[in-house]
Amino acid sequence: MRTFNWAILGPGHIARKFAEDLKLVPGARLHAVASRSLERAQAFAAEFGAAHAVGSYEELVAVPGIDAVYVATPHSEHYAHARLCLNGGLPVLCEKAFTQNAQQAQELIALARAKGVFLMEAFWSRFFPAIIAALAEVRAGRIGEVRHLVADFGFITDYKPEGRLFNPALAGGSLLDIGVYPLFISKLFLGTPATVRAVATPAPTGVDQNCAMALAYASGATATLFSTIAATTENRCVLYGTLGQLQLSGRFHAATGVQLRLTGAAPEEIPYPISGYGYHFEAAHVQECLAQGLTESPLLPLSFSLELMELLDAVRAQIGLRYPGE
């Protein structure tokens, strides 16, 4: 079996989970770690058995033998760091939100295609077995025509003006960090909306603390979505159709099953248990794509990520949120 040498750019909290889950992916090996702090990179590399540790992101491009780079820096840095790797000819798995805005996403996609280098947004939810199964159920018409979708994602976090969730310079706020999940799931099941409406409550730094979204589709379906970093919510997603309803079990973005409540039938729950954190699904998919010589994912194409960024831009326009430099 071929060995895939992964590199991590930005060894933070999510990167640690990703590194743990790489142990569950056949053929995967953490090969290199890049941080602005050499000491931090070395500690992370030692913990996970990586052969290389570098103290700048630019140095990573020169490390030999890298098959793919996982970019896990703050949202505001995704564009620059993914571009750095693509220019170096390195395949990129870039954390969500893909970029800060749609223009940056367009530029990354154009660069990847011009270079013929693989690029994918690290929207791990897309590869969870429960979400794949739920999508198949809906497309097969199990709940009839979908009329409405509801999804929320919220947690309480301490207010730290300089932290990544509240700092405008780091593209902070609930929307790009967790509001992207309800938008993602609505787009996955319902497509691109014809109408987007949004309201938000700003934090003292100006970024959105709460964000509520209402979407309408040409099919006649609607969606209500919500994100917050000021309250803990159920983190659930339910689709209501003409023949019944479907709910993703557990936290919808990392779903562990599918619940069906069809008219005139007993409730049904199909479990899809996961091992690890769930990041191994996307890593395994990237390896499959690279093994086939693909430059983008058939399950999460770049067009989807671009359209999702356009939706995020539309919501930000509605709530009046702009980041420095825009």
Q: How many CA atoms lie within 13 A of 215 on its CB side?
A: 30
186 in helix, strand or coil?
helix
CA distance 130 to 202: 34
CA distance 297 to 289: 6
CA distance 89 to 86: 5
DSSP per residue over 240-304, as a string? EETTEEEEEESSGGG--EEEEEETTS--EEEE---SSSSTHHHHHHHHHHHHTT-SS-SSS-HHH
CA distance 275 to 17: 12
CA distance 278 to 121: 15
Give the residue numbers marked as catalytic.
Answer: 96
CA distance 80 to 104: 9
What b/e sequence results for 12-35 when a residue is b if at least 16 CB atoms lie within 10 Å of its CB, and e otherwise?
A: bebbbbbbbbbebbeebbbbbbbb
Q: How many CB atoms lie within 10 A of CB 293?
A: 8
CA distance 51 to 75: 27
